[in-house]
Amino acid sequence: MNAVKLLPLVAALAITACSGTNDTVGHEVSMAPSDAFMSAVAAHCGKAFEGRIAVNEPRTDAPDPFEGKRLVMHVRGCEDPAHELRIPFHVGDDHSRTWVLSRTENGLRLKHDHRHEDGSPDAVTMYGGDSKPPGTAQRQSFPVDSDSVAMFRKADMLASVQNTWAMEVDPDQRFVYELTRPGGRHFQVVFDLTKPVALPPAPWGSETPAP
């Protein structure tokens, strides 16, 4: 076959190859932010970090469960870090809270696992929502989902039915946990990833020892 006859075939193969590459790249781009975010958090598996309250508005006269307490996050549950991470959030001697960050078909899901000291689940637990796509490799937002809204209504926690949670990670620098809702509620804790601290106790309800 001479060079002239080869040209149409080469052109056709080139078009097909480019088309396939574009489809693949487009898929990777759409999934990359959530994958990159999970990877950045998973890079700290087995480590704990101390945080500080950066924002806690509006101020009220009621006792605040976070103010004045030592705040520590522990990237602990890393059996399958590409699909799920469990991050206990310790508030002083209260070891009831664990953030559960998992992959979904379209992004990420954040749930809050709340336990009593005996390990039994709290009446209000496993609430949260799915990420608002596409997010970025540094920040993911999680508007409250319908199951959580129903749970909050049942518990007469009506202010929480409009919650949006967010997480940010600046690799090797800081991790941020945030809660906002209409009406001015804004709560934010910033953890220093440059200084790992001693590992805290296992969260309440955990059946596995700390790494």
Q: Residue ranges of the domains in the chain?
A: 7-197
Mean pLDDT of the chain: 87
pLDDT score of 207: 66
pLDDT score of 186: 97
pLDDT tens, residue by residue, 138-193: 999 999 999 999 999 999 999 999 999 999 999 899 999 999 999 889 999 999 99
User: Which stretches of the chain drop beneath a pLDDT of 70?
Assistant: 1-31, 207-211
Question: Which helix (H) or strand (E) covers residue 76, if one does?
Answer: none
- Does residue 165 contact residue 185 with C-beta atoms inside 8 Å? no
Report the distance separating Cα 75 and Cα 41, nearest Å: 8
